[in-house]
Structure 1
Amino acid sequence: MWFIFVQSLFAGEKSPKDVPVATLLRIGFSPKLVAIWKKKTNAPRDEFFQWRRSLKGKEAALVSKLWKEENLNFPNSPNQPYQNRESHKNLGLEHPKESPTKQKHLEVGTYDLGLREYLFLGLGHQNLDVQYLPREEKNHSSFAFGGYTKGQRFSLEKRDEDFLYGIDLKAHSFRLTSGNRYKPIPHFYFAKDPNFYSQMDRPNSPLPQSIQSSHFFGYQFPNKTNPFEFGVYYAPGFSYAPGIYFTSPNKSYSGVWSVRENKSSLFVNDTYDLKKAGKHRIQSESIFHPKESVGFLYTKSESENSNFFLDSTVYRDSPLLYGNVTSGEIRPEIPQTLGYMRASYKYILGGEGLSSMEGHRYESGGSGFFPILVSNFGNILYRYRQYYESGNYQYKEIGRALFYEWRKERTVYSIGFESREMGGQWEGKIAIPILQGHLLELSAIFREGNLKTRAWFENWTYASDFNINLTDREEIIKLKYVSPFLSLNVSYSEKENSPTPILFINFQFLHFIEI
């Protein structure tokens, strides 16, 4: 079989890059495998074959079937001829990596621009339609121009009436970032501009999160992959005194610390594949301060066979995080601490629990769900949930819900109705990865009657893949479309017996010009 596969490599006439998505889906590729295929076929040749050899089971069979039916051949880089026969044999048909300047693709959630030089144009506009807000807090617009050349980044922009700059300069092993756009740490909370946020903020993005005036100077220690970075910063929007910062080689861990003010922030975004012990992911960002600490922690674990899942999230929200209004949410008046956990078997059998403390208001609850009907076209689930509220009031409610759900990887379709003693609520959510790097999300809830406790609203947020919060709003609709070049975020909500609904619209556009 290996000999036949080797023959097919050199007898093929079509490049894997040229295979359309429709063909991949016809062969039987899942949306996840399609995205990985597109990523790997645009990567260097040796990386592709290393991935190809790592496949097992159904995925390996599908790739072999595609290779045979489409008569594929992965061509060598025209600038790099084959190695000698002995080296070629030792590498297992691998070839030297292509020059980064030949990499033309965008990875899922990542701006993989290699070492290409480019200019960019960025536009953004947001509107928050709330009756009691002054005009200057409702509308915000921005225009940015910048580029990447000879290893250096720069941006010039206009946010509302302010003209700002950003530079990211490297010389030898030293790095300097200054202004209102670039920073060596991936933190979202750190010194963020309260009136703007960027959905383009992904690895290597030319338009990361808008920040207040910040300055970093550090040293990049040599490493086989990416450098470890350590240095000093000054950002009066975060701490009045200067401090130190660090980032790990892959930026999965980073932090800042103002010694004099005793204020720090830590960022974590990492995955762990423990083989038989399963796969685990952790996301966290926190700000620690003697007066008040805020942040979130999200973890997700799944078994080796992807049958068992465990999600947990805990966060502390506070007015300290909001200088104004961001992301369509009104800043909280008092701090809130919330914890949530869900365990399930294939998302069809399991339970969940929640606990929240907001001032003198305490809410908690638990639920269990199980399938009534299971099929390849989706599942019918029954959910029993208990709601408790104590502190200011003493309430207890029972919710019984019936849902239709279909889940596969990051694709989710769910709609259902929960009945309570004093009313009920419709809940729905949709998440659809569209090709590579595009994601469409919709979540909604409609409450009716005289419900005594708040709803658990499953919500996708910027900083983490998943979050859940409590809401007493009568109606919420959230729509988000994100791609490497365009994003749209729309949120509409109404409060019971309130004539002032909240409408939030944020639009962002990014265009590259290769030079």
Structure 2
Amino acid sequence: MWISFVQSLFAVEKKPDQVSIPELLKAGFPPHLVATWKEKSKQSPEQFLDWKRSLKGKDAALVSKVWKEQQITLYPTKHRFAEDSSSKQKVKFPRNTKDQKSKETTPKSLEGSDSLYELFFGMSYQNLDVRYLPRKEKNHSSVFLGGRGKGQIWILEKRDEEFSYGANLTFQQFRFTSGNRYKPIPHFYFAKDPNFYSQLERTGSPLPQPILLSHFLGYRYLLEGKEYELGVYHADAFSAYPGLYFVSPSKSYSGVWSAGENKSSLYVNDSWNSKDLGNHRVQSESILSKKESVGFFYLKSESPESKFFLDATAYRDSPLLYGMVSPEEVRPQIPQTLGYTRGSFKHFLGFEYLSSIEGHKYESGRSGFFPFFLSEWGNLLYRYREYNESGNYQYNEIGRAAFYEWRKEKTVVSFGFESRENGGQWEGKIAIPINTGNLLEFSAIFREGQPKTRAWFENWTYATDFNINLTDRQEIIKLKWVSPFISLNVSYSEKENDPNPILFINFQLLQKIDL
């Protein structure tokens, strides 16, 4: 006991951020756990402790091992020993330290449960009711069963009449993925299964985007405490030749390249927050090849005082994407390139600009909007917009609209009516986050008369937070509800004097069970 007392008296305490990367690697930490340790060590002691308690299995055992060997402490202490009978000096603990210590030394909190395993299962159903569309392209359904634990994940699926599998296996610094579901890159376009897509993909979800058969083998390495991944892949759906792939920390940037075909795909999802320059976010994905290049770009900027806002998006869609930008739409017949910009002051004074090239058709427009009534419950706005179409036809129209709008972060409520020379249109859109991880979205447009030019329809898609489409349909109604375990996507549209409306329904379900 005396020896233990002396050792504890002269032990050198360390904070989590003082443990070096070589020390963590020497203790047996895999690269992903090292990167997470270094990231969490920069947060508050309470957050680091919460992360430590959330670990399970092998990761929990490794963290507990280093915790003991390195004499980790989260709080500064002035004394290492408690009060005894000969000394009236008391140990000074931070508030709630005793409670934290008692929880921390519980074997379950330190070591976790090696038997913990997550089983998941679910299904999806999709119907695209379009006249003259082949039956096999109208309905698609799938069921799946999978499991994950200790850094490994697998899935067995039945998509329509075909069986498939997916595996994501990690061995120390190496990762191997194979099959029709998992890949180390977060791309939406890459080798996508044209008949299926997932709205349940989010942080911690076992359901990324369904893909066609692909294989990846990569090496994960640490650089300045951050994990990178580099490897080789093969996917016939993307290229007949194998290639290389790269993934940055947090998967903010990634890319694939096939030298044999000189074809590549890039992905960006990053944000910057500055006290002086504001908050900025960029999303982008593209497929670049000699045959055809497609993709999208989205930028969102907000001033430091949340007064000035900018949204800018551009995309090139074509039959190559098989309608991937909006899965419920009919396949595009010819490529379309579209750009849209919206800038505003406090969301009530601003401008818009749009430009689109689709074959021989060129459309452009600009608008300005300003308030005539302001309140904390929303604003009444007036909008003046010019529509121009050239190429096959020469059309010019003026639209004057009055509408109510309220925007705050990802919440949008807007509806109103625009009058044009040859008709008009009712517009409505709602996006409401509900609790944690739930999002309800609704958008609609109803056109009256015979406007000469197409409408600007604000739409939400999987790939971006915001998207603008051009539509000549007389009526469009879209409803989407997404939660961590269920998603529902319904779209209905019809043309004037056309007996062939389009109805799209997609339902997805995911259930998890901890074993």
Normalised to the residue count of structure 1, the TM-score between the two structures is 0.80
C-alpha spacing 1:325/1:127, structure 2 compared with 1 (3 Å):
farther
Structure 1: stretches of 5+ with no match in the other structure: 1-39, 51-79, 104-114
1:411 is displaced (CA, Å) by 1.4
8 A Cα contact 1:402 1:416, kept in partner: yes
Per-residue Cα deviation, 1:281-331 (whole angstroms, up to 9, x for no partner): 000000000111000000010100111001100000010011899721111
1:248 is displaced (CA, Å) by 0.4
Q: Which residue identity does 2:201 align to in structure 1?
A: D
Moved more, 368-377 or 83-92: 83-92
Separation in structure 1 between the aligned mates of residue 79 and residue 452 of structure 2, nearest angstrom: 72
Per-residue Cα deviation, 1:83-127 (whole angstroms, up to 9, x for no partner): 67349999999979989x979xxxxxxxxxxx9630100210000
Per the alignment, residue 377 of structure 1 pairs with 377
1:466 is displaced (CA, Å) by 0.2
Query: Which secondary structure does the structure 2 equivalent of 1:198 belong to?
Result: coil
C-alpha spacing 1:87/1:206, structure 2 compared with 1 (3 Å):
farther
8 A Cα contact 1:196 1:326, kept in partner: no
C-alpha spacing 1:47/1:387, structure 2 compared with 1 (3 Å):
same
Per the alignment, residue 413 of structure 1 pairs with 413
1:378 is displaced (CA, Å) by 1.3
Separation in structure 2 between the aligned mates of residue 418 and residue 305 of structure 1, nearest angstrom: 32
Separation in structure 2 between the aligned mates of residue 91 and residue 295 of structure 1, nearest angstrom: 53
1:256 is displaced (CA, Å) by 0.2
8 A Cα contact 1:223 1:249, kept in partner: no
Trace 1:72-83 onto structure 2 (pairs within 5 A).
Answer: none
Q: Which residue identity does 1:144 align to in structure 2?
A: F
- The structure whose Rg is larger is 2
Give structure 1 regions of 4+ aligned residues with deviation exceeding 3 angstroms: 80-84, 86-99, 223-226, 323-326
Per the alignment, residue 168 of structure 1 pairs with 168
Query: Which secondary structure does the structure 2 equivalent of 1:222 belong to?
Result: strand
Trace 1:322-337 onto structure 2 (pairs within 5 A).
Answer: 322=322, 327-337=327-337
8 A Cα contact 2:323 2:329, kept in partner: no
Trace 1:56-95 onto structure 2 (pairs within 5 A).
Answer: 85-86=77-78
Per-residue Cα deviation, 1:309-364 (whole angstroms, up to 9, x for no partner): 01100000010011899721111000000001011001100001000000000000
8 A Cα contact 2:75 2:94, kept in partner: no
Per the alignment, residue 194 of structure 1 pairs with 194
Per the alignment, residue 30 of structure 1 pairs with none
Separation in structure 1 between the aligned mates of residue 491 and residue 286 of structure 2, nearest angstrom: 26
C-alpha spacing 1:375/1:480, structure 2 compared with 1 (3 Å):
same
Separation in structure 2 between the aligned mates of residue 310 and residue 323 of structure 1, nearest angstrom: 27
Separation in structure 1 between the aligned mates of residue 325 and residue 316 of structure 2, nearest angstrom: 17
Trace 1:94-133 onto structure 2 (pairs within 5 A).
Answer: 117-133=117-133
8 A Cα contact 2:323 2:330, kept in partner: no
Structure 2: stretches of 5+ with no match in the other structure: 1-39, 51-71, 81-91
Q: Which residue identity does 1:177 align to in structure 2?
A: T
8 A Cα contact 1:403 1:416, kept in partner: yes
Query: Which secondary structure does the structure 1 equivalent of 2:447 belong to?
Result: strand
8 A Cα contact 2:45 2:74, kept in partner: no
Separation in structure 1 between the aligned mates of residue 96 and residue 456 of structure 2, nearest angstrom: 53
Moved more, 408-417 or 253-262: 408-417
1:369 is displaced (CA, Å) by 0.0
1:149 is displaced (CA, Å) by 2.2
Separation in structure 2 between the aligned mates of residue 180 and residue 373 of structure 1, nearest angstrom: 53
C-alpha spacing 1:270/1:324, structure 2 compared with 1 (3 Å):
closer
Equivalent pairs, count: 434
Are 1:149 and 2:149 matched, yes or no? yes
Q: Which residue identity does 1:136 align to in structure 2?
A: K
Query: Which secondary structure does the structure 1 equivalent of 2:47 belong to?
Result: helix
Per the alignment, residue 499 of structure 1 pairs with 499
Per the alignment, residue 219 of structure 2 pairs with 219
Separation in structure 2 between the aligned mates of residue 423 and residue 283 of structure 1, nearest angstrom: 36
Per the alignment, residue 400 of structure 2 pairs with 400
Per the alignment, residue 274 of structure 2 pairs with 274
1:274 is displaced (CA, Å) by 2.3
Per-residue Cα deviation, 1:232-256 (whole angstroms, up to 9, x for no partner): 0000001110000010011000000
Separation in structure 1 between the aligned mates of residue 309 and residue 166 of structure 2, nearest angstrom: 42
C-alpha spacing 1:151/1:388, structure 2 compared with 1 (3 Å):
same
Per the alignment, residue 262 of structure 2 pairs with 262
Separation in structure 1 between the aligned mates of residue 311 and residue 323 of structure 2, nearest angstrom: 30
Trace 1:320-469 onto structure 2 (pairs within 5 A).
Answer: 320-322=320-322, 327-469=327-469
C-alpha spacing 1:289/1:150, structure 2 compared with 1 (3 Å):
same
Separation in structure 2 between the aligned mates of residue 325 and residue 357 of structure 1, nearest angstrom: 17
Once superposed, what is the RMSD of the aligned Cα atoms? 2.9
Q: Which residue identity does 2:445 align to in structure 1?
A: I
Q: Which residue identity does 2:505 align to in structure 1?
A: I
Separation in structure 2 between the aligned mates of residue 353 and residue 102 of structure 1, nearest angstrom: 56
8 A Cα contact 1:338 1:355, kept in partner: yes
1:81 is displaced (CA, Å) by 9.8
Q: Which residue identity does 1:139 align to in structure 2?
A: N
Q: Which residue identity does 2:347 align to in structure 1?
A: Y
Per the alignment, residue 137 of structure 1 pairs with 137
Per the alignment, residue 313 of structure 2 pairs with 313
Separation in structure 2 between the aligned mates of residue 446 and residue 158 of structure 1, nearest angstrom: 39
Per-residue Cα deviation, 1:385-436 (whole angstroms, up to 9, x for no partner): 0000000000000000000112222111111000000000000000111000
Q: Which residue identity does 1:470 align to in structure 2?
A: L
Are 1:233 and 2:225 matched, yes or no? no
Query: Which secondary structure does the structure 2 equivalent of 1:85 belong to?
Result: coil
Query: Which secondary structure does the structure 1 equivalent of 2:249 belong to?
Result: coil
Query: Which secondary structure does the structure 1 equivalent of 2:207 belong to?
Result: coil
Separation in structure 2 between the aligned mates of residue 384 and residue 397 of structure 1, nearest angstrom: 11
Trace 1:19-58 onto structure 2 (pairs within 5 A).
Answer: 46-47=46-47
8 A Cα contact 2:326 2:461, kept in partner: no
8 A Cα contact 1:225 1:249, kept in partner: no
Separation in structure 2 between the aligned mates of residue 358 and residue 222 of structure 1, nearest angstrom: 46
